[in-house]
């Protein structure tokens, strides 16, 4: 399966990655190869095999609706690049 430069640019945009022209070519080639390799799986006959949605064989792991302690605000905001009062401060979102 061919991953074009345009595909790479789209995926990079979604992941907010800045790529050089050289990198775009490299990834286009590498991603194509990876997908070709994965494509081998399609050679298997999976007619009677249930689709796997999870690798574990367990279901229904729940917690009760009981409050637990939250982080103190200062601790929660400790890794924030910027803060104002008790808020995370980010570049203005809407114009």
Residues found near another protein in the complex (CB under 8 A) = 10, 13-14, 16, 53-56, 58-71, 73, 76-77, 84-95
51 vs 55: CA distance, rounded Å: 11
Task: Retrieve residue 10's tokens.
Answer: 């789209």
Q: How far is the CB of 6 from another protein (least distance, A)?
A: 13
Residue 81 C-alpha from the chain's centroid: 22
Q: How far is the CB of 85 from another protein (least distance, A)?
A: 7
Identity of the residue, 26 or 73, whose beta carbon is nearer to another protein in the bound complex:
73
Q: Residue 2 in contact with residue 32, Cβ under 8 Å?
A: yes
Identity of the residue, 40 or 92, whose beta carbon is nearer to another protein in the bound complex:
92
Residue with tokens 């430069």: 5
Q: How far is the CB of 63 from another protein (least distance, A)?
A: 4
């Amino acid at each position: 399966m061919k991953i074009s430069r345009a595909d790479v640019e789209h995926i990079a945009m979604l992941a907010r990655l800045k790529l050089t022209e050289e990198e775009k070519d490299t990834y286009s080639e590498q991603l194509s190869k990876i997908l070709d390799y994965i494509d081998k799986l399609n050679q298997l006959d999976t007619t009677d095999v249930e689709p796997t949605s999870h690798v574990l064989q367990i279901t229904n792991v729940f917690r009760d609706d009981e409050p637990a302690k939250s982080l103190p605000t200062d601790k929660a905001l400790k890794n924030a690049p910027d803060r104002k009062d008790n808020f995370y401060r980010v570049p203005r979102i809407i114009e």
